[in-house]
């Protein structure tokens, strides 16, 4: 078990480091230098002065099959042929933690190794040194030291990121959007409210409403006191869910792309797929998913202290013990707005918390209402199972995101839709009583509510079926953006593709040269493989007759994918100093275009559209998600007018 936990800790640290490093302070400080040995061969020297009360594990040793130090590079053309040459005072002893001999440094250490660069040598080499350290009662494995070191004789990157001629604040024509057009804050709040009301109908929360309200009203010295305590209890539930999002507001610790990276990162999408799969299985009753019981016990023990303090810890206890039901619903909501920044997360959580806390206050103020709410029973289990099927469908969506970004070819459009058809069919069977789980009760009475839900899921499943075909009915416009794009199909060429625009992809310089040669404006489409609104624009707006005609005949269109994980050639990989003064690693094609977008167009969300002329001058303000084809066509005409005006 210890071996398994150690390895899991190591790999999770590596996986989540880009998104957690902004709030960590590491114990060890490292320096790195390089020396050229021969053509393409360099010596790297890593040095640290040590850290008081900590022990650094020597490299070239493995504990429970986990390496204590490892050097990794972003490109396979870099080879590390040998082991580290170590300098420093090493102590070897039998570790009581691992019950094996380990070698550690108590003070300064210097590690040397040689690398071989096959092909062109970059002027600046990026890599990561993973190391491990411990104290008497704490062990940390796989801690990353991300470094950039100059290589003598290397070729400097010539990639253009910041283009001085682009000024979107002073375009030729003043048309376009002032800011990002994502879900409005009010819409996100309503979605959070809806999620909270759904969570109320789960077996973990619903039975607690009459029980808790009765506790407050009967225990209090008088009716007014009991009502006030119940209202305070509801407020604390709301407050707890808001406080969950506070870490995302830590000032100066995030870059403008981190929320977008959360939604497009391949590893995180796979992690979300696994999490939602576990949520679904829990809802199906295969196991009960709870936070550690010790935590719930400790929090519950505090509920007797003071008045306000006791009520707060009672609310916190409810949040913890109901996690198995509320966690998946809240997770679904927050993941859906994770690419829009910290405030949308807070607003969504606030809506969720308000919906959970409101009934406790209302039923305390109007206790007679308690007589009218339905009794707990098997219907709560049905709600939980149906939510499990929804979580399963969302898990498929996250897996498809990862597949779309990496272009593995496993989750093409028809496979995705086919899985959703199966999930919908199973949901109908369950609601009809033809499919049962171990903890569900047989359907004795077909109520009107159950009949409505059977009709709804039956209609949704039937709607999906044409999406499996290569016909004009396969578009599924209601779900536009959720399935993979039409171009990512099992069919060699989808019949509906003839209706859309096929732009150049990820080659800005080629598109710019083409625009100059054809004397046309350049339309830049900042997009992503896992971007839902991007697919909606391509399938519902670009296919509009006027929009299609303008984009095809009057513009040169280039799509730049900010989540493209294909690595740049080694000599194009670099460390870029942003206009905000931070250093950013440019390793993949997506790194380049996401930085290009934020530096020149001031946004980190997709889709975003920009129009330039051949001199790379902004002709309009940029345009974000615009589901109205007429509005988008009007903006294109404004850009075309600016191009002609500027040319004259």
pLDDT tens-digit series, residues 565-608: 888 888 888 888 888 788 888 889 999 999 999 899 988 778 89
CA 479 distance to own-chain centroid: 20
pLDDT of residue 579: 83
Average pLDDT over residues 397-410: 85
Query: What's the Cα-to-Cα distance from 274 to each of 181, 270, 286, 399, 420, rounded to whole Å?
Result: 30, 6, 15, 9, 17
Q: Tell which CATH classification among 3.30.830.10, 3.30.530.80, 2.30.30.90, 2.60.40.1250 matches the domain 2-150.
A: 2.60.40.1250
Q: From the CB of residue 483, how many other CB atoms can be counted at a distance below 10 Å?
A: 28
pLDDT tens readout for residues 505-533: 899 999 999 999 999 999 999 998 878 78
**Which class does domain 499-647 fall in?**
alpha beta
Q: Mean pLDDT in the chain? A: 79
Query: What's the Cα-to-Cα distance from 584 to each of 304, 532, 575, 580, rounded to whole Å?
Result: 50, 26, 5, 11
Tell whether the model's pLDDT for residue 209 goes beyond 60. Answer: yes
pLDDT tens readout for residues 188-203: 788 788 877 777 766 5
Residue, of 51 and 231, whose pLDDT is higher: 51
pLDDT tens readout for residues 361-393: 777 676 665 555 555 556 667 777 887 898 798
CA neighbor of 563 nearest in space, from 407, 345, 433: 407
The band of 640, judged by pLDDT with boundaries at 50, 70 and 90, is: very high
The band of 354, judged by pLDDT with boundaries at 50, 70 and 90, is: confident
pLDDT of residue 530: 78
pLDDT of residue 462: 95
Residue spans of beta strands (DSSP E) within 119-166: 124-134, 139-150
| Peptide linkage before 607 cis (omega within 30 of 0) | yes
pLDDT of residue 310: 67
Cα-Cα-Cα-Cα dihedral sign, residues 631, 636, 639, 640: negative
**At residue 598, what are phi and psi to the nearest 5 degrees?**
-65, -35
3-class DSSP state of 531: coil
CA neighbor of 564 nearest in space, from 522, 600, 606, 536: 606
**DSSP per residue over 253-270, as a string?**
S--TTHHHHHHH-HHHHH
pLDDT of residue 550: 95
Residue, of 548 and 82, whose pLDDT is higher: 548
Sequence ranges of the domains in the chain: 2-150, 201-374, 499-647
Burial of 460 (0-12, 13-18, 19+ CB in 10 A): middle
Cβ(121)–Cβ(151) under 8 Å?
yes
Give the burial string for 525-543 (b: 16+ CB within 10 Å, else e).
bbbbbbbbbbbbbbbbbbb
d(CA 111, CA 60): 11
Which of 146-160, 531-545, 613-627 has the highest mean predicted lDDT (pLDDT)?
A: 613-627
Cα-Cα-Cα-Cα dihedral sign, residues 307, 311, 314, 320: negative
Tell whether the model's pLDDT for residue 292 goes beyond 70. Answer: no
3-class DSSP state of 51: coil
Q: From the CB of residue 220, how many other CB atoms can be counted at a distance below 10 Å?
A: 16
Radius of gyration of the chain (CA): 29
Domain 499-647 in the same topology as domain 2-150: no
d(CA 632, CA 546): 10
3-class DSSP state of 56: strand
């Amino acid at each position: 078990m210890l071996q398994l936990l150690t390895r899991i800790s190591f790999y999770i640290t590596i996986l989540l480091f880009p998104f957690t490093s902004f709030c960590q302070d590491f114990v060890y400080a490292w320096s790195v230098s390089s020396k050229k040995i021969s053509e393409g061969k360099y010596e790297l020297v890593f040095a640290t002065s040590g850290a008081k009360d900590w022990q650094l594990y020597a490299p070239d040793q493995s504990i429970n099959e986990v390496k204590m130090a490892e050097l990794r590079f972003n490109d396979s053309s870099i080879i590390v042929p040998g082991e580290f040459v170590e300098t420093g005072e090493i102590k070897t002893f039998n570790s009581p933690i691992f019950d094996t001999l380990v070698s550690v440094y108590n003070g300064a250490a210097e590690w040397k190794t040689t690398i071989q660069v096959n092909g062109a040598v970059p002027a600046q080499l990026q890599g990561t040194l993973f190391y491990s350290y411990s104290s008497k009662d704490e062990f940390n494995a796989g801690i990353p030291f991300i470094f950039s070191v100059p290589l003598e004789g290397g070729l400097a990157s010539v990639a253009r990121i910041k283009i001085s001629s682009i000024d979107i604040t002073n375009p030729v024509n003043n048309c376009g959007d002032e800011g990002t057009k994502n879900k409005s804050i009010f819409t996100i709040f309503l979605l959070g409210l809806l999620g909270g009301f759904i969570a109320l109908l789960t077996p973990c929360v619903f039975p607690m409403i009459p029980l808790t309200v009765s506790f407050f009203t009967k225990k209090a010295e008088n009716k007014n006191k009991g009502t006030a305590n119940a209202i305070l209890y509801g407020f604390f539930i709301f407050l707890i869910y808001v406080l969950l999002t506070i870490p995302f507001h830590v000032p100066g610790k995030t870059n403008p792309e981190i929320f977008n990276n959360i939604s497009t990162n391949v590893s995180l999408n796979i992690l979300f797929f696994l999490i939602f799969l576990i949520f679904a299985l829990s809802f199906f009753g295969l196991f009960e998913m709870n936070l550690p019981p010790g935590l719930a016990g400790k929090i519950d023990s505090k509920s007797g202290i003071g008045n306000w303090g006791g009520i707060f810890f009672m609310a916190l206890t409810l949040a913890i013990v109901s996690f198995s039901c509320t966690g998946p619903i809240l997770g679904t909501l927050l993941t859906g707005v994770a690419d829009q920044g910290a405030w949308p997360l807070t607003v969504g959580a606030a809506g969720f918390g308000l919906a959970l806390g409101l009934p406790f206050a209302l039923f305390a103020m109007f206790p007679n209402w308690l007589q009218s709410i339905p009794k707990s029973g098997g219907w709560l289990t049905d709600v939980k199972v149906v939510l499990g099927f929804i979580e399963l469908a969302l898990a498929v969506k996250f897996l498809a995101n990862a597949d779309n970004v990496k272009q593995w070819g496993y989750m093409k459009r028809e496979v995705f839709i086919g899985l959703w058809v199966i999930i919908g069919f199973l949901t109908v069977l369950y609601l009809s009583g033809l499919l049962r789980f171990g903890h569900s009760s047989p359907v004795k009475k077909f109520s009107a509510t159950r009949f409505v839900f059977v009709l709804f899921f039956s209609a949704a499943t039937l709607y999906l079926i044409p999406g499996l075909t290569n016909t004009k009915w396969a578009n599924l416009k209601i779900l536009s953006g959720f399935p993979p794009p039409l171009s990512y199909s099992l069919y060699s060429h989808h019949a509906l593709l003839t209706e859309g625009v096929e732009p150049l992809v990820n080659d800005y310089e080629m598109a710019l040269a083409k625009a100059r040669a054809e004397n046309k404006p350049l339309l830049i489409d900042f997009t992503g493989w896992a971007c839902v609104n991007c697919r909606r624009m391509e399938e519902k707006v670009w296919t509009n007759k006027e929009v299609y005609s303008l984009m095809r005949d009057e513009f040169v269109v280039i799509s730049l994918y900010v989540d493209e994980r294909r690595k740049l050639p080694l000599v194009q990989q670099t460390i870029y100093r942003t206009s905000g003064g931070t250093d950013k690693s440019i390793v993949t094609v997506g790194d380049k275009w996401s930085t290009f977008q934020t530096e020149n167009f001031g946004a980190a969300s997709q889709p975003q559209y920009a129009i330039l002329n051949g001199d790379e001058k902004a002709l309009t303000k940029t345009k974000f998600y615009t589901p109205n084809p007429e509005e988008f066509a009007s903006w294109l005409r404004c850009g075309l007018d600016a191009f002609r005006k500027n040319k004259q």
